[in-house]
Amino acid sequence: MARSIARRFRGRSGLLVVEGGTAPENFTGPILGFAPSHLVVVDCAELEAPPGTAGLFPLEYIGGLSSSTHSLPLSVVFDYLRRSCDCEILVVGIRPKSLEFDAPPTREALRASRRVAGGLARAIRAMERSPEFP
């Protein structure tokens, strides 16, 4: 799911697109080198909602998650990034049908990915029109 969103924005000027997979900590160097004002993380999330549900979550919520398919808990990665760069971190969670490793995305998840990508594209366009945007 996140891969399809990343593909939509890859190569766009002014953006760093990283597919962190199961080891997003491996990409903290490039992220810090890019010095973003905002970091948007899209990931599968075990939500008490139907598959294909997407939501924006505060970092405090992520810190409470105890299980994950990532090498390091995302809360550790986010804490490091927050202390190392002055950027706003936004976490978008999408409820997949299955959380099995390497399970193919379902129709619901792909639909949610398209909705999330569309929302991100609108937010980026709005930021680019802002006088504060570099």
Domain count, the chain: 1
Average pLDDT value for residue range 38-48: 87
Spatial separation of the C-alpha atoms in residues 2 and 81, rounded to whole Å: 20
Domain membership flag for residue 131: no
Domain membership flag for residue 45: yes
pTM comes to 0.82
Residue 46's CATH number: 3.40.50.1450
For residue 74, give its domain range. Answer: 2-16+27-126
* AA identity, residue 69: T
Domain membership flag for residue 68: yes
The first and second tokens of residue 128, run together, are 């680019």
Give the pLDDT score at 70.
Answer: 63
Average pLDDT value for residue range 113-126: 92
Give per-residue pLDDT as tens, 70-103: 667 788 888 899 889 988 898 998 988 887 777 7
Q: How confident is the model at residue 29 (pLDDT cuts 50, 70, 90)?
A: very high
Domain membership flag for residue 32: yes
Q: Which of 1-5, 21-25, 57-61, 118-122 has the highest mean pLDDT?
A: 118-122
